Structure 1
Amino acid sequence: MSVDRVEEAATGTESTAATATESAVRTYAVAPGVRLNVRNGPGTSYGIVRVLPEGTRVPIFCQTPGTTVSGPYGTSNIWDNIDNGEYVSDAYVQTGSDGYVASRCA
């Protein structure tokens, strides 16, 4: 085995364990030019806890139905859980799907 292959193999082994958890949750782009409201529940009646700046990518830990919202990526009642107690409308997140791309929130 060449030196390059040995280094590649060693690096791959170490990084596999480190990225196993990271790769379980993908990040998705928020629609261009949008400052997105983050709410404390899956709907527009929930309070805004913060606003994401333009160009943000968000993780989606789970998804749940809520208020129907129309946005750049269609009309959807799916809400994405992006952090503990923080939700954004899936209509503003480029997931490449009109349906669920993560497990349902418990």
Structure 2
Amino acid sequence: MVAGATSQASAALRTYPVAPGVALNVRSGPGTGFSIVRTLPAGTSVPIYCQCPGESVSGTYGTSKIWDNISNGQFVSDAYIQTGSDGYVVPKCS
């Protein structure tokens, strides 16, 4: 069990780059109808704590309904995050 706990901690610390040249809006929920909490400057990398389904967004990395939780109450569209996958890369948000 210790090895599993270590891998989960490592996964939480991994960061993923925002698409090049994109200032990305961070929203309070998984859709563009949610309020903007802040804007990430171009060149930022973010941790992804969990992912959830939400509004479909077309961005630099295709069209996705996946939204990434990067902090408490802060979500960005996965279509603008370079995860290397079109699917979930971390557990779904509960």
1:101 maps to amino acid: V
User: Which residue pairs with 1:86 in the alignment?
Assistant: 74
Aligned equivalents of 1:77, 1:86: Cα separation in 2? 16
Shift of 1:71: 0.3
- Larger RCO, structure (CA 8 Å, separation 6 or more): 2
Give RMSD over aligned pairs: 1.0
Q: Which of the pair has more CA radius of gyration? A: 1
Q: Stretches of 4+ moved more than 6 A in 1?
A: none
Normalising to structure 2: TM-score of the pair?
0.89
Mark the runs of 5 or more structure 2 residues left unpaired by the alignment: 1-5
| Number of equivalent positions | 87
Normalising to structure 1: TM-score of the pair?
0.79
Aligned counterparts, 1:1-106, within 5 A = 20=6, 23-25=10-12, 26-106=14-94
Over the matched positions of the two proteins, sequence identity in percent amounts to 69
